[in-house]
Amino acid sequence: MRNSSEKGARKKRCIELEDEAIEWLKLPPDLQYKFMEKAEEEAKRIKENSGRLISTLDDLKHLAEPYLRTLPQSQGVTLIAAVDGSRSPILSRRLGATYGVFTASGLAIKDKEEVWEDHLAGQFKRSGALSPTRSAISFGLYSLLAERKMALEALEHSDHVILDGSFYGYLYTAHKQKVLGELTDHDFDVLGEINQLTEKIVASGRAIAAIKRTRSRTLEGYAYLKGLATDLNGITDKLALSYAMPARTYLLYEDLTQGRHPIELTVLAQRIEEEGESAKSPDWGDIDKRVYGPFEDMGLGRHALSNLGRLVIKAFEDAPACEVEVPHGKEDEMISILSSPGFFNEDTGLPIVLDMVDQLTSLGVRFIDEYADEIETQALQELYADKAPKAIRWFFKPLNPQKPYRGQSLNITGF
């Protein structure tokens, strides 16, 4: 039986949520209370494990501190661009076709003043008979291709361009899909074009990849190699270094990875956590295959990854650290750019131009159905005089009319 004081506290909290969590209030009252209980239980677990977390973070902090460098004082102002994309969170599945929409936006600024802006709008369409998984895979590739095209355009209007996500992170997901037989011939064509454009962007020597959703665990892998960790807690470098780094410092991963790519140490940490004792004698051959295999199998070669370096920058004391990827040999030049005044957002810790372009366009969950409805309306107007409109209406009927805003999408991620 619920404790009355606890139940009263939950009811009070649900009332407080009226002004800040509209989605919560759409649930039945009893379900609201049950989720409140779940939140309380999780909060207690975090409190119980906080000592272990702090101890582990302190260990990783001591490990990283000897390798931290101070950002130089740069007074230069550069013309910097950023590119980001958005796609409908779901695909609109009608009886006759599956639709998706996507956009890629580019923005260039100098001294926080906008000097160039452009947008690309794209439509994705597949047969309604194609499986949702394959539709989602193709959709993700199309939207990524649009971002790469916009990045090349941005290079024409700026000194340097920032991409959202690692240069080749998409390859790991694409390789898994290839192994599972989920890629169509057309998917391979699109993927090949993405590879070519990405190589061209990297070869320009003027591109920086900001890895916002990084899953790097290089510090944990390094700690294990040094015999400083026996149990790995799944702590990402972003958490550990946000905790460890003072403001205006950076860490070059190659300073501590002893010639290995940081992804190799991330894979080592993952294997130890997943496989326990059996993984505690590193099989570097297998790790090498997992890290570089997708590049070789997809025709790029291992040099596509090995020619890239990674570093982590913390610009402000209370902002998270930011992991970036740059071409090898360009580290000093890029660090000078990254340390220029006003480059980072004090709230997010990310390049401010990337935050600005992220705010330009966001395709909401309902937009794709509004878009498909607009196609239907215009098609009926065009065809009404000499065609049977009933067939067109059936073509655009939702596949699942009970939940028209539920569908499938794909987030292409990697390391």
pLDDT in tens, 248-295: 999 999 998 888 999 999 999 888 877 765 656 788 899 999 999 999
Residue-wise pLDDT for 389-401, tens only, equals 666 666 666 655 5
Q: How many whole angstroms separate alpha carbon 150 and alpha carbon 157?
A: 11
Task: Please choose, from the candidates 303, 304, 310, the residue with its C-alpha nearest in 3D space to the C-alpha of residue 331.
Answer: 310
Residues in the chain: 415
The DSSP-derived string for 308-375 is EEEEEEE-STTS--EEEEEETT-HHHHHHHHTSTT-B-TTTSSBHHHHHHHHH----TTHHHHHHHHH
Q: What is the pLDDT of residue 306?
A: 94
Residue-wise pLDDT for 90-112, tens only, equals 888 776 778 889 999 999 999 88
DSSP H stretches of helix in 17-86: 22-25, 29-64
- Percent of the chain whose pLDDT exceeds 70: 83
Task: Please choose, from the candidates 314, 265, 272, 258, the residue with its C-alpha nearest in 3D space to the C-alpha of residue 288.
Answer: 265
Task: Tally the C-alpha atoms within 13 A of residue 400's C-alpha that lie toward its C-beta.
Answer: 12
Q: Residue 127 in contact with residue 79, Cβ under 8 Å? A: no
Residue-wise pLDDT for 206-237, tens only, equals 999 999 989 999 999 998 888 876 566 788 99
Q: What angle do CA 148, 197, 155 make, to 5 degrees?
A: 60
Which helix or strand (DSSP H or E) is residue 211 part of?
A: strand 207-211
Per the structure block, which two tokens stand in for 265? 């140490």
Q: Residue 398 in contact with residue 131, Cβ under 8 Å? A: no
Long-range contact set of residues 233-238: C-beta below 8 Å, sequence gap at least 24:
233/52, 233/53, 233/56, 234/273, 235/53, 235/56, 235/57, 235/60, 237/312, 237/321, 237/323, 238/214, 238/312, 238/320, 238/321, 238/323
Whole-structure pTM value? 0.85
List the domains of the chain with CATH numbers: 70-360 (3.30.2170)
Q: Residue 168 in contact with residue 304, Cβ under 8 Å? A: yes
Beta strands at 308-314 and 249-252: parallel, antiparallel or unpaired: antiparallel
34-38, 134-138, 176-180, 312-316 — which is least confidently predicted? Answer: 134-138
Backbone angles phi, psi at 83, to 5 degrees: -130, 135
More confident residue, 369 or 198: 198
Tell me the C-alpha to C-alpha distance, in Å, between residue 127 and each of 166, 259, 270, 319, 409: 31, 48, 39, 45, 16
Query: Dihedral through CA 350, CA 352, CA 353, CA 356, nearest 10?
Result: 100
Task: Please choose, from the candidates 102, 112, 89, the residue with its C-alpha nearest in 3D space to the C-alpha of residue 361.
Answer: 102
Q: How many whole angstroms separate alpha carbon 233 and alpha carbon 240?
A: 11
Q: How many whole angstroms separate alpha carbon 126 and alpha carbon 399?
A: 14
- Percent of the chain whose pLDDT exceeds 90: 53
CA 187 to chain centre: 21
At 243, the amino acid letter reads Y
Q: How many whole angstroms separate alpha carbon 354 and alpha carbon 341?
A: 15
Q: Residue 148 in contact with residue 83, Cβ under 8 Å? A: no
Q: How many whole angstroms separate alpha carbon 254 and alpha carbon 163?
A: 22
Sign for the pseudo-dihedral over CA of 355, 358, 364, 367: positive
Q: What is the pLDDT of residue 289?
A: 95
Confidence of residue 368 (pLDDT cuts 50, 70, 90): confident
Backbone angles phi, psi at 168, to 5 degrees: -120, 20
Residue-wise pLDDT for 317-350, tens only, equals 999 999 999 999 999 999 999 998 889 999 999 9
Q: How many whole angstroms separate alpha carbon 244 and alpha carbon 251?
A: 11
Task: Please choose, from the candidates 217, 137, 145, 171, the residue with its C-alpha nearest in 3D space to the C-alpha of residue 414.
Answer: 171
Per the structure block, which two tokens stand in for 383? 């065809």
Backbone angles phi, psi at 7, to 5 degrees: -65, -40
Per the structure block, which two tokens stand in for 367? 């937009």
Q: Using the 8-state DSSP alphabet, how is residue 281 labeled?
A: S
DSSP H stretches of helix in 100-184: 132-155, 170-179
> Residue 205, by phi and psi: left (phi above 0), alpha (psi -120 to 50) or beta?
left
